[in-house]
Chains A and B, each alone.
Chain A
Amino acid sequence: MITLKGQYYSGRWPLGTPATMNVAKREVSLTAGRISGRYSIGSLKVSPRIGRADRFIALPNGGQFMCADHVILNSLPAESPSEGFVAWLEVRWGVALAGVAIIVCMVVAGYFYGLPAAAERIAARIPIETEQALGREALAWLDKQEWFGPTNLALNKQKKILRGFDRLRSDLPLKKYYHLEFRNSSFIGPNAFALPGVTIVITDDMVKLARSQEEVLTVLAHEIGHVELRHTLRSVLQNSAVAVLAATVTSDAASLSVAVAGLPAMAAQTKYSREFEAAADDYAFRLLKQKGYSPAAFATLMERLSKNHEKVERMFAYVSTHPVTAERIERARAAAQRDR
């Protein structure tokens, strides 16, 4: 028989009475001041073990007995049975260390392999049509906000680029959906981007910066890469998964107003967007060579862009959305070399 010393709370007033509980095989007996009673083990409910905190035993008379933690309490009926195993894990340092290792492995594996692979599979199952409405709305919104004005390019220049664009897309799986838009913008500068769905927008400044039709087509091929590889949808999926993951891992830190809790997620998302750029480049180089153009033209255009960028810093420059690095230019040159 085990004797536990503690307090008895009747539930009538928030005042305790010093109490003693004797735990026998089938029943317990309680003495608290003038109150005494015997209860079968099965009629009790014991609060879960947590840290070194006192435990509570709810009695069938509506009263509660509180005492310091004791092993015997774990063999009585539990108030929340599913927590018993967790409590068992929580008191072991070995488990905690293994936990750290597992978390690190899961976060690293999920981030580098799991999420990108899952996003690619899911994106492949979602038809491109679901994105189209969004792309149209986005363009209409950009036009309405006067980010863009109508193009000033001569009609035959536009037609020439459109013919080249048609040639690029002629064998692609999504060819019938493509849509190329020309826009003039005073403050976006030389730029090109793929909106959700299959709308590709190129600015007049970008066309003017290019010295040849081939250079314009290299930029369009890059944007086609984004479309064919479903980068819009994949980045939405990956970035939201990263945000959820980061929020789970840093939730306690965030509740303390550690303003930097959002930073890991942002850094993680930057890496993904760089990977998408590289993948779109590779796709573009293959497509260009297949159609008889040289990726070297891309390198020349990028070099000119980054020089241009040094002169005029614009808020939404092509360079900031598509970071021009020596590495990217290098890769374009290397790709051009290979076909000779």
Chain B
Amino acid sequence: MLPPKLVLAFRGSAREYFRIWIVNLCLTLLTLGIFSAWAKVRKKRYFYSHTTLDGTPFQYLGQPVPILKGRVIAATAFLIYYASSHFFTFLMPYILATGAVLAPWVIVRSAAFNARYSAFRNMTFQFEGRYRDALGVLYVWGIVPVLVVGTMFSWWGQPVVAGVVFLAFGISFPWWIRRFKNFIIGHTIYGGKKGVFSATGGQFFMVYFISGLIIVAMMIITGILAATLVASIRKSQVLLSVLAVPMYAGYVLAYAYLQAHSSNLLWNNTQLGPLSFQSTLLGRGMAKLYLTNAIGIIASLGLLTPWAVMRTLKYRADNLRVLQEGELTEFFGSETSAVQAIGSEMGDFFDVDLSL
């Protein structure tokens, strides 16, 4: 017998979200981007507040100013990178190295911000990962450092070296993703309970592998189509646009499959105290959603974007079940996890949101 369910529902409405979206976009443009911090808060608030579990909405507690600070820092870093890649190329290796050293810090900070400012029933989430752990996760097996160093000294001139490095990177990537997800879930805490993640790298590999097979299959179909049509269609532009159809379809299918099944893998192997999850997303369901979203958005010159966002979130929520295998009282709050406790930390300079 299945354990009892806690009902998860998404109750956002496209009409309501349209107004929120357009007002925030307009103000962002009018303020040359400064308002984007408010826009982010308003959107996240809308998503959280209209997602209910057992009848209670989630709460997003982030405030615009720390997010604005984070965005100023991110924008400055990007400008430095951009200027050096275009005008001061001799600085590039140092900038990449600094970025590599800072990356784990950025990951830890944004995960901590996200957790700290998400709450359910007056209890905030927490994230306890440290810089050291993130460093280990990011640079394990030396694949990423090799890629970075290789880019710094442009090793890609030698095809053999480049080929071996990229092959090693491609094959180990699913295992790397698993470690990363494990790092995030395993250090996220709610009500004193740490998340437990049990998916294996092999399971991730299968998801990536099948999604790669979809691409290869579509390439073969495109190839056959090209061979049969090349004689009958003279104009190269017409031929290219005919061939773009199976290529695009292949890309959408592969991407939808990847999204659906890595999401399923993530939820189905996560345990949080007495709660476990069951995600039943389908690749073809996601593909249908992406395709209809794209058609709607293009046909409406972007005005149907909020509608597309809402139905995607609804589809995801409809396919996620929360199973309860014990009492909710297994979660216990503390002085610091209460929503009211947040205000005291606001003054901290590094309490910034660095996620985009």
Contacts and interface: CB of A to CB of B under 8 A. Distances in A.
B17 interface: yes
B312 interface: yes
Contacts of A257: 252, 255-256, 259, 290
Given A53-B50, A249-B302, A258-B290, A15 B29 contact: no
Contacts of A45: 340, 343
A96 B86 CA distance: 39
A-B complex: 6 closest residue pairs judged by Cβ atoms: A53-B49, A9-B122, A99-B26, A64-B122, A14-B121, A11-B338
B23 A96 contact: yes
Contacts of A102: 26, 29-30
Contacts of B41: 80, 83
Nearest to A63: B122
B248 interface: yes
Interface string A218-241: 000000000000000000100010
Contact of A51 (B16, B23, B24, B28): B16
Interface residues of B, number: 72
A47 B340 CA distance: 11
Nearest to A261: B297
Contacts of B104: none
A18 B109 CA distance: 37
Contacts of A253: 293, 297, 302, 305, 308
A248 B191 contact: no
B64 A9 contact: no
Interface residues of A, number: 61
B240 interface: no
Q: Mostly helix, strand, loop or mixed at chain B's interface?
A: helix
Contacts of B113: none
A334 to B, nearest CB: 30
Contacts, number: 184
Contacts of B89: 133-134, 137
A45 B340 CA distance: 8
A266 B13 CA distance: 32
A106 interface: yes
Contact of B46 (A50, A82, A92, A106): A50
B232 interface: no
Contact of A11 (B28, B36, B122): B122
Contacts of B259: 257
Nearest to B124: A11
Contacts of B18: 96
Nearest to B298: A260
A86 B64 CA distance: 12
Interface in A88-125: 89-93, 95-96, 99-100, 102-103, 106-107
A80 B63 contact: yes
A260 B294 contact: yes
Nearest to A52: B16
B312 A51 contact: no
Interface in B294-346: 294, 297-298, 302-303, 305-306, 308-309, 312, 328-329, 331-333, 335, 337-341, 343
Interface in A40-76: 45, 47-48, 50-54, 56, 58-60, 62-64, 66
Q: Mostly helix, strand, loop or mixed at chain A's interface?
A: mixed
A96 B298 contact: no
A133 B89 CA distance: 9
Interface string B58-73: 0101011100000000
Contacts of B302: 249-250, 253
A50 B30 contact: no
Contact of B13 (A14, A51, A58, A92): A51
A295 B285 CA distance: 60
B45 A86 contact: no
Contact of B251 (A7, A50, A93, A259): A259
B42 interface: yes
A48 B56 contact: no
Nearest to A43: B340
A45 B61 CA distance: 12
B339 to A, nearest CB: 5
